[in-house]
Amino acid sequence: MTANSQPKYVDRYGARGDGLSDDTSAINSAISAVHDGDVIWFPVGTYRITSTIQPKHRIRFQCLGAVDAYSMTGPCTFKKASTINGPAILLTGNSVRGSVLEGITVDGEPGNRGPGIQGTTSFFTLRDVLVRNQGGDGIVIGSDTQLDSLDAVFSRLDSVTSRGNSGRGFYISQRVVSGGYNNANGGVWTNVVAQSNSGDGFAVGCATNNTFVGITAEGNGGIGLHFLAGSARNRVFGGDLNEGNRAGNLKFDSGSSGNVVQADVSNKPPFYVDDTRGSFDGTNQVIAPSIRNFGQAGGSYGAAGFGIGPNGGTGFAFEVHYPGKTFSAVRVSDDAGAVVLGAEKARGNETAPAAVQNGNGIGRFYFSGYDGSGYESGAFIGSAVDGAVSEGQTPANIALYTCPTSASCAPRMVVTSKGDIRIPSIRALNGTRFVCVDTSGSLISQTTPCSGN
């Protein structure tokens, strides 16, 4: 607050806060009356607005109460009318640098459009803020269409929740057209939650060197945390991204680089990198126990990229592109433990897995070669359930398949869960003779190929 200035209470300018009256004019009158750095106090109530609130000076909106992020309620609510097609509150331009919004909720009437809060200025702070029911993104930091003279650097978000919005929970991106570089940089976000939004929980676009601490993405319709092209050198520490985001928990797009995530991301739903198989440079990193530190040096994916993602909507695809090199899993430990590579299968879905059944496949390891136009399967090792499944018991076989053509793979040897070895057919050359198995299971020697070969 500036020297000799008095706090401004918005109700003294005619705001009623009853949720029905249009308080837009009263709030704008309070804004016009303040000096740079002043505080506008909002008594407990719901302030309906019919046009975007846009401060002209560095000010603080302060509620005489606190948001309860757990119950998703707040004592001071800006109710955005259905007629608003842009942000409910817009902080833009150099004159509002350093502004603070604290203890407020931004709600939306059905039919509204645009974000709840948008900031295209620097050094502004959102603290104890809840944004919900917006027709667009919940909170937008920066703009992909603003003038070069504007930026969105050094944003501060503390204990902020974006919930139930029609777009993304949070979007941070500022492209400076003439310079060709990003200008949504240096922000610090702590204890920020994106929950039940229709799009991504967090989308990071043209933004660099931002730090996210303890963020949570839960139940969003898109990706929990999505690094878009242009995102670079951002850091995520702690938090929980493994909370049922329907399109995946974490994704790095082509053109993202140097981003580091150290948080619980899991791979269920999929964690994946460079799903577009574009020019991803392999410098993004994930350090998370729940994905078992794939790669070396604490989760770095090496020089050529790494991917896990949806495979036709029916499963997962996993790829490692490492030209001219081998791929190894290395364990160095002072014990007798071995390197473990696992395949796990369940029926049902992620939230309610169900037991596998007799005949269900569990896993396969393929050997494929390039035929001039694509990679074709030549052989694989597979495992399938081969008995009744009960708690503590999943009997399974292991089988060796070869593929004369990629469309005609067949089992050549099967080891059952009981230890029996079954060979559907044997073709062993011994001069001009073949060793085969007859219909009774006995070995026979004959001069013609075994039946079916």
* Structure confidence by residue, pLDDT tens digits, 353-387: 899 999 999 988 888 888 888 778 889 899 999 99
Which of 110, 136, 162 delimits the end of a domain? 136
Residue 189: the pLDDT is 97
pLDDT over 80 (residue 143): yes
Residue 355: the pLDDT is 94
pLDDT over 50 (residue 393): yes
Clarify whether residues 373 and 413 are in a common domain.
yes
Q: Is residue 45 part of a domain?
A: yes
Clarify whether residues 177 and 324 are in a common domain.
yes
26 sits in which H/E element? helix 24-33
Clarify whether residues 371 and 250 are in a common domain.
no
Residue 377: the pLDDT is 84
pLDDT digits (tens, 9 = 90+) for 17-66: 999 999 999 999 999 998 898 999 999 999 999 999 999 999 999 997 66
Average pLDDT across the chain, whole number? 80
The band of 138, judged by pLDDT with boundaries at 50, 70 and 90, is very high
Phi, psi of 7 (to 5 degrees): -60, 145
The band of 302, judged by pLDDT with boundaries at 50, 70 and 90, is very low
Among the residue ranges 154-168, 255-269, 379-393, the one predicted with the least confidence is 255-269
Strand order in the sheet with 421-422: 361-370, 375-385, 396-402, 410-415, 421-422
Q: Is residue 269 part of a domain?
A: yes
Radius of gyration, alpha carbons of the chain = 30
Q: Is residue 342 part of a domain?
A: no
pLDDT over 80 (residue 340): no
Q: Is residue 388 part of a domain?
A: yes
Clarify whether residues 205 and 311 are in a common domain.
yes
**Mean pLDDT within 68-89:** 84
Q: Is residue 348 part of a domain?
A: no
Residue 319: the pLDDT is 47
Alpha-carbon torsion (327, 331, 336, 338), positive or negative: negative
> By residue range, what is the domain housing residue 130?
1-136
Clarify whether residues 180 and 328 are in a common domain.
yes
Residue 329: the pLDDT is 67
Clarify whether residues 131 and 182 are in a common domain.
no
Q: How many domains does the chain have?
A: 4
The band of 242, judged by pLDDT with boundaries at 50, 70 and 90, is confident
Q: Is residue 344 part of a domain?
A: no
Clarify whether residues 40 and 22 are in a common domain.
yes
pLDDT digits (tens, 9 = 90+) for 259-294: 988 877 654 433 444 333 223 345 677 765 444 333
Clarify whether residues 184 and 252 are in a common domain.
yes
pLDDT digits (tens, 9 = 90+) for 417-443: 988 777 776 555 445 566 677 777 777
Residues 207, 229 contacting (CB under 8 angstroms): no
Q: Is residue 160 part of a domain?
A: no
pLDDT digits (tens, 9 = 90+) for 182-215: 678 899 999 999 999 999 999 999 899 999 999 9
- 422-425 contacts at long range (C-beta below 8 A, 24 or more positions apart): 424/452, 425/450, 425/451, 425/452, 425/453
Q: Is residue 7 part of a domain?
A: yes
Residue 324: the pLDDT is 52
The band of 390, judged by pLDDT with boundaries at 50, 70 and 90, is very high
Clarify whether residues 82 and 127 are in a common domain.
yes
Q: How many other C-beta atoms are found inside a 10 Å radius of the C-beta of residue 425?
A: 16
Residue 31: the pLDDT is 94
Q: Please tell me the distance from the alpha carbon of residue 403 to that of residue 409, in angstroms, as a whole number.
A: 4
Residue 414: the pLDDT is 87
**Mean pLDDT within 135-153:** 81
Clarify whether residues 179 and 301 are in a common domain.
yes
Clarify whether residues 285 and 324 are in a common domain.
yes
pLDDT over 60 (residue 299): no
Residue 359: the pLDDT is 93
CA 407 to chain centroid: 36
Clarify whether residues 192 and 91 are in a common domain.
no
